[in-house]
């Protein structure tokens, strides 16, 4: 036990004194806090040019109020070139208002003039309007997030409807109000709200994925590098292989957990402080129920340990660090399968695929997490799956220690996993 | 303390690599474990240290079963290895603690050995930044930092210059005088002769020679003489065979001298008399004491 603790302490020290580990942790913590603390940078960067009418509609009244607090006539005014071929737009300021924009129209006499103004950068974009139902949108470079054309189309359609309704002697505002009428409803969810839990379940699966890929490789590298620098010659004669492999794997698990807690904790803490700025938009990500945390802690950590032991034993089978990626490919592939099952399972949390995956130890870390977070699961299922995963974890640990003991002093070409198993059985 | 190894046998798969290795060693003595590459020395050492399990055989200390975990063992492997990117002091303390030292003791012993070996100024440096000789000294420090009861040194002198070799010799001698059990494996026979009272020569997994070195040399020198005929004799070996073939057999050469073995009924006096009668006056005539290298080559060479 004392030797195990000495190894654990030494290996943890290796992580915490590793500059890239510290730098990654600090950068990710700062990034998490930064992203949450400065929501304006994310949403404000698109500017009002590309803020869609849809977004404007979706905004809550409070948010809308916040937008309105920004005086529209101060600096934010965008310029658009307009060639109204047949004079179809009766009131330009009303049209701009329908677009939800504080626009300045640069009136043009022909199509070439529109293109020249847009080309010179004087106007953000231009419109050549045949009539309210036919127009050409002119833009220099079109961004992926450009929604101005949609906004213009909606404003043109609204103006057209108003015009036709007025011609027929009807009150357009009444008709518009009629269309805007929404039934009042409330939701009573008897099971789980998948829509609400999707975001945090997805986030937890991604956290587990990165944790495993990153630390799995580090554990394998740690084992192999001791073979390649021959430190293992001293180590295996100084302590038993169980203490060595368990110390290494658990150090990786603890380091990963601490890094995870620091980064997620920074994000959650920052969200608590800057929650108002988000208007509850990220509640779905950070408002994680206790049972989901518990499932993540138990299944996530056990799944992580299971794979970590696999990485440890693969590390013992090769002698050069450059052989690790090839040797660990089957384990990574296994986890990627588990990951994709999880990603598909997010949309069908009670499907047969996720149900089966939640009982297979190599996939249950993700499978059971999804079922607990988003689907229906009985307590006995959680217990059986947890017991299976725990048994596999212990088995993988014992096997890893045996393979580690067998493989550590075998230098040269990589040893096949099946050969190692055969040799262990022979003993 | 007396460590006894009896009839160790070890197989890897179908192949038996150790065919009944037996030897013993007492406190305050050094045992030379000799053999060609692949003879079975390292396998024997690893069985001693419980890295491999023997198929049969026993290891005892003072008559009781030997459990490596109950003793502090300092091991300097032939395949040198430590953490190149870690600080010297940090890794020595780690290894000392793994072998049972407390943190305070590990720190004290680490500094003591670094100072004793003249590398204390590198305590905080990364191992990879040290010269090969200094890295070798750090390796030796890791062997001794746990104040071992049993010291196993596998090729300890490789990579050391004469000055550092002398420091290492002094350290090994101190360990022997301090009553430690020292097992010394090397291909540099001069060092083995210098330290070891007893030797065990392993060839192809079995012991071909063992015992007190002085006695072995005496036995190998028995009935053998070394004769130097001077520069006037072009081929002393042929001359001795031609003229004294009935009395002696030429068994080897050492530079200009010839090693001969007396045949039955022939004595030193008779041979000398016969040589003088035939006017073959030797410039050198004396008892032959073989070097360990000669014994090694004879017992473990390809012709053995």
Q: Please tell me the predicted confidence (pLDDT) of residue A226.
A: 79
* Percent of chain B scoring above 90 in pLDDT: 12
Cβ atoms A420, A317 nearer than 8 A = yes
Which residues face B34 on adjacent strands?
B201
Contact at CB, B94 and A6, closer than 8 angstroms: yes
Cβ atoms A404, A241 nearer than 8 A = yes
Mean pLDDT of B96-108: 89
- Show the low-confidence residues of chain A (pLDDT under 70): 39-76, 191-193, 195, 409, 411-412, 426-427
Contact at CB, A237 and B98, closer than 8 angstroms: no
Whole-angstrom distance, CA of residue A101 vs CA of residue A76:
9
Of A3, A7, A233, the CB nearest to B81: A233
Cβ atoms A420, A403 nearer than 8 A = yes
Chain A nearest C-alpha distance from B82 (Å): 4
| Burial of residue B24 (number of CB atoms within 10 Å: 0-12, 13-18, 19+) | middle
Q: Please tell me the predicted confidence (pLDDT) of residue B302.
A: 63
Q: Please tell me the predicted confidence (pLDDT) of residue A82.
A: 92
Q: Please tell me the predicted confidence (pLDDT) of residue A67.
A: 35
**Using a CB-CB distance cutoff of 8 angstroms, which residues of chain A are in contact with residue B13?**
426
Measured CA distances, B93 to A238, B183, B251 (Å): 13, 24, 54
Structure tokens at A21: 């580990």
Chain A nearest C-alpha distance from B259 (Å): 43
**Using a CB-CB distance cutoff of 8 angstroms, which residues of chain A are in contact with residue B94?**
6, 10
Chain B nearest C-alpha distance from A320 (Å): 14
Classify B134 in phi/psi space as left (phi over 0), alpha (psi -120 to 50) or beta: alpha
Which is higher by pLDDT, B71 or A38?
Answer: B71
Domain spans, chain A? 2-37+194-426, 74-175
Whole-angstrom distance, CA of residue A194 vs CA of residue B202:
72
Cβ atoms B25, B3 nearer than 8 A = yes
Structure tokens at B297: 């080559």
Structure tokens at B292: 């360990």
Mean pLDDT of B99-118: 90
Q: Which CATH class is domain A74-175?
A: alpha beta
Q: Please tell me the predicted confidence (pLDDT) of residue B59.
A: 92
Q: Please tell me the predicted confidence (pLDDT) of residue A71.
A: 40
Chain A nearest C-alpha distance from B219 (Å): 37
The DSSP H or E segment spanning A54 is: helix A53-58
Cβ atoms B1, B149 nearer than 8 A = yes
**Using a CB-CB distance cutoff of 8 angstroms, which residues of chain B are in contact with residue A223?**
none
Cβ atoms B211, B194 nearer than 8 A = no
Mean pLDDT of B271-276: 88
Of A237, A426, A427, the CB nearest to B49: A237
Structure tokens at A278: 């988000």
Contact at CB, B94 and A231, closer than 8 angstroms: no
Q: Please tell me the predicted confidence (pLDDT) of residue A39.
A: 67
Q: Please tell me the predicted confidence (pLDDT) of residue A113.
A: 93
Cβ atoms A379, A368 nearer than 8 A = no
Whole-angstrom distance, CA of residue A161 vs CA of residue A167:
10
**Using a CB-CB distance cutoff of 8 angstroms, which residues of chain B are in contact with residue A234?**
75, 77, 81-82, 95, 142
Alpha helix positions (H), chain B: 41-48, 88-98, 103-116, 132-144, 162-177, 189-195, 213-221, 236-244, 268-277, 292-300
* Percent of chain B scoring above 70 in pLDDT: 99
Q: Please tell me the predicted confidence (pLDDT) of residue A427.
A: 62
Q: Cα angle at A370 between A365 and A375, to 5 degrees?
A: 140
Q: Are strands B224-228 and B284-287 parallel, antiparallel or unpaired?
A: antiparallel
Residue with token string 């307009």: A82
pLDDT in tens, B213-252: 888 888 877 788 888 888 777 788 888 888 888 888 888 8
The DSSP H or E segment spanning B257 is: strand B257-262
DSSP state of B126: B
Q: Please tell me the predicted confidence (pLDDT) of residue A76.
A: 62
Q: Please tell me the predicted confidence (pLDDT) of residue B264.
A: 82
Q: Please tell me the predicted confidence (pLDDT) of residue A66.
A: 39
Mean pLDDT of B168-192: 86
* A-B C-beta contacts closer than 8 Å: 48
Q: Please tell me the predicted confidence (pLDDT) of residue A36.
A: 82
Cβ atoms B156, B186 nearer than 8 A = yes
Tell whether the torsion through CA atoms of A48, A54, A58 and A64 is positive or negative.
Answer: positive
Whole-angstrom distance, CA of residue A312 vs CA of residue A306:
10
Cβ atoms A140, A120 nearer than 8 A = no
């Amino acid at each position: 036990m004392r030797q195990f603790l000495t190894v654990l302490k030494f290996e943890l020290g290796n992580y915490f004194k590793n500059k890239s580990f510290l730098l990654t942790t600090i950068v990710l913590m700062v990034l998490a806090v930064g992203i949450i603390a400065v929501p304006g940078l994310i949403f404000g960067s698109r500017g009002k040019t590309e803020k869609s009418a849809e977004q404007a509609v979706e905004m809550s009244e409070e948010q809308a109020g916040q937008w309105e607090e920004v005086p529209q006539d101060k600096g934010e005014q965008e310029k658009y070139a307009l060639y109204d071929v047949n004079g179809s737009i009766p009131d330009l300021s009303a049209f701009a208002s329908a677009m939800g924009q504080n626009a300045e129209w640069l009136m043009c006499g022909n199509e070439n003039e529109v293109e020249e103004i847009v080309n010179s950068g004087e106007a953000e974009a231009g419109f050549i309007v045949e009539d309210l139902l036919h127009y050409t949108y002119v833009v220099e470079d079109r961004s992926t997030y450009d929604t101005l054309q949609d906004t213009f189309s909606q404003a043109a359609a609204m103006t057209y409807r108003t015009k036709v309704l007025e011609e027929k002697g009807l009150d357009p505002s009444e008709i518009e109000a009629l269309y805007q009428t929404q039934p009042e409803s409330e939701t009573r969810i008897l099971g789980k709200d998948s829509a609400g839990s999707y975001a945090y379940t997805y986030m937890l699966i991604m956290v587990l994925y990165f944790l495993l890929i990153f630390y799995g490789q580090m554990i394998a590298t740690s084992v192999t590098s001791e073979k390649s620098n021959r430190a293992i010659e001293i180590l295996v004669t100084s302590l038993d292989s169980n203490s060595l492999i368990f110390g290494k794997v658990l150090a990786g698990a603890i380091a990963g957990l601490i890094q995870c807690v620091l980064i997620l904790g920074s994000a959650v803490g920052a969200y608590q402080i800057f929650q108002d700025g988000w208007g509850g938009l990220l509640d779905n990500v950070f408002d994680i129920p206790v049972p989901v945390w518990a499932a993540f802690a138990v299944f996530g950590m056990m799944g992580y340990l299971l794979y970590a032991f696999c990485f440890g034993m693969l590390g013992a089978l090769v002698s050069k660090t450059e052989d690790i990626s090839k040797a660990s490919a089957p384990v990574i592939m296994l986890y990627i399968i588990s990951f994709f099952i999880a990603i598909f399972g997010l949309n069908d949390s009670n499907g047969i695929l996720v149900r089966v995956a939640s009982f297979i130890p190599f996939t249950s870390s993700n499978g059971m997490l999804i079922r607990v977070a988003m689907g229906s699961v009985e307590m006995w299922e959680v217990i059986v799956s947890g017991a299976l995963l725990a048994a596999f974890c212990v088995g993988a640990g014992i096997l890893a220690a045996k393979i580690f003991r067998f493989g550590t002093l075998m230098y040269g070409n990589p040893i096949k996993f099946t050969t190692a198993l055969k040799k262990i059985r022979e003993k | 303390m007396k460590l006894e190894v009896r009839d160790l046998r070890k197989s890897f798969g179908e192949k038996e690599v150790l065919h009944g290795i037996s030897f013993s060693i007492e406190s305050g003595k050094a045992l030379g474990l000799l053999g060609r590459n692949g003879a079975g020395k390292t396998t024997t050492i690893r069985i001693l240290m419980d890295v491999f399990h023997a198929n049969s055989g026993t290891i005892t200390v003072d008559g009781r079963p030997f459990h490596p975990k109950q003793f502090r063992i300092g091991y300097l492997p032939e395949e040198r290895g430590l953490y190149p990117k870690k600080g010297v002091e940090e890794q020595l303390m780690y290894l000392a603690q793994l072998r049972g030292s407390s943190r305070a003791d590990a720190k004290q012993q680490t500094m003591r050995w670094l100072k004793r070996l003249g590398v204390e100024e590198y305590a905080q440096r990364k191992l990879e930044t040290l010269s090969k000789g200094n890295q070798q000294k750090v390796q030796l420090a890791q062997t001794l930092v746990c104040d071992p009861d049993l010291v196993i040194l596998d090729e300890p002198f490789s990579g050391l210059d004469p000055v550092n070799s002398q420091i290492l010799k002094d350290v090994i001698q101190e360990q022997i005088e301090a009553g430690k059990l020292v097992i010394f494996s090397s291909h540099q026979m001069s060092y083995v002769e210098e330290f070891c009272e007893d030797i065990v020569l392993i060839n192809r997994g079995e012991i071909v020679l063992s015992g007190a070195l002085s006695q072995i040399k005496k036995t190998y020198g028995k009935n053998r003489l070394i004769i130097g005929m001077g520069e006037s004799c072009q081929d002393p070996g042929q001359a001795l065979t031609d003229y004294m073939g009935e009395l002696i057999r030429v068994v080897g050469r050492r530079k200009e001298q010839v090693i001969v073995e007396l045949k039955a009924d022939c004595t030193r006096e008779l041979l000398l008399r016969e040589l003088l009668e035939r006017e073959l006056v030797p410039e050198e005539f004396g008892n032959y004491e073989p070097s360990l290298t000669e014994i090694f080559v004879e017992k473990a060479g390809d012709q053995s």
